[in-house]
Amino acid sequence: MPGNRLSNMRQSIIDGAPETACSLAQEAVAAGMAPLEAINDGYVLGMRDVGEQFARGQMFLPDMMASAEAMRAAMSVLEPELRKQGAERPTAGVVVLGTTKGDIHEIGKILVGTLLTAHGFEVHDLGVDVAGEKFAAKAREVSADIVGVSALLTTTMRNQKKVVEALEKEGLRSSVKIMVGGAPVTRRWAEEIGADGFAKDAMSAVGLAQELMQKKLAAVPTQT
Ligand code: HCB
């Protein structure tokens, strides 16, 4: 039964069917399925299929938009469940999150934000198409520990570097860790632009954020 449910979830994304995606998520929550299992082993697999079909020219932009809509519908049910888990813990760190300038892909970023919240981080999501200066201003406003930058296009990846530069310009680089991600992003790219880390998926982003917090706290001189 859970196997069937997961494959139906995956299919609802491929079909671009928000109502089905939403009701499957509601059923899963009612049946006690872990929200993370539904996301990772159901819906995200559908999104991956959609990307592959689009790349092969077997799917077109309106279909891809319908799939994204279905993903959002499922997340509207699963995200509050994940948040409940995070609300019970003390703050693990403050994160400012966004997708780079020129880029409107948001699903991966939302997943990262949701999982960070579920693991006790305070997340400020700036949305999509965000300029470096805006990341820096928000980081200052909320005293961010970490800035997380998403980019899904090879053309907008380079704007991640502009975020690093904006934080440097604002004099925040020594106090704010930077993590980058998104389908075309690699560890090597992260190193090249001077970011502190790269995460290939939302779960790794949580591990990385925890690691960066430890490094940050270890660097703070202790008062005697
Ligand atoms: Co879009 N698109 N798209 N798209 N799109 C991609 C990204 C392509 C790879 C599809 C392809 O050709 N195979 C391609 C990019 C090619 C390239 O540059 N190499 C592409 C293209 C070309 C375009 C347009 C240019 C199409 C057009 O208009 N002709 C256009 C660009 C618009 C723009 O941004 N200016 C476009 C538009 C769209 C939408 C609007 C239809 C829709 C986005 C809707 C939305 O987000 N609200 C869309 C979608 C859905 C996709 C695919 C199918 C899925 C992306 C997605 O949500 N993946 C994608 C194909 C693909 O990626 N395989 C395709 C699922 C999430 C869970 O994965 O990688 O985003 P993720 O995030 C992971 C991971 O990377 C990491 O954790 C996340 C969670 O596990 N992570 C981070 C992400 N950010 C992080 C930040 C951190 O700090 C740490 C970790």
Kindly report, residue by residue over 5-15, the tens digit of the pLDDT: 999 999 999 99
Report residue 44 as tokens.
């995200």
Pocket probe for ligand 1: among 71, 100, 105, 211, the residue whose CB has the most ligand atoms within 8 Å is 105
Answer whether 208 contacts ligand 1 (Cβ < 6 A). Answer: no
- Rounded Cα gap, residues 147 and 159, in angstroms: 14
pLDDT the model gives residue 223? 56
Answer whether 64 contacts ligand 1 (Cβ < 6 A). Answer: yes
> Closest residue (by CA) to atom 16 of ligand 1?
153
Which of 8, 67, 6, 11 shows the shortest CA–CA distance to 35? Answer: 6
pLDDT over 90 percentage in the chain:
65
- What's the pLDDT band for 2 if we cut at 50, 70, 90? low
Report residue 216 as tokens.
């940050």
| Ligand 1 atom nearest residue 105's Cα | 46
pLDDT the model gives residue 1? 56
Distance 181 CA to ligand 1 centre (A): 11
> 6, 38 in Cβ contact below 8 A?
yes
Q: What is the value of pTM for the model shown?
A: 0.87
| Ligand 1 atom nearest residue 154's Cα | 18
Distance 77 CA to ligand 1 centre (A): 22
Backbone dihedral angles phi then psi of residue 120, each to the nearest 5 degrees: 95, 5
Distance 105 CA to ligand 1 centre (A): 5
Kindly report, residue by residue over 169-223, the tens digit of the pLDDT: 999 999 999 999 999 999 999 999 999 999 998 888 999 999 999 999 888 766 5
> Regarding predicted confidence, which is higher, 150 or 40?
150
pLDDT the model gives residue 224? 52
> Closest residue (by CA) to atom 12 of ligand 1?
55
Given 3-state DSSP classes, what are the helix, strand and coil percentages for the chain, each rounded to the nearest 5?
60, 10, 25
Distance 88 CA to ligand 1 centre (A): 32
pLDDT the model gives residue 89? 63
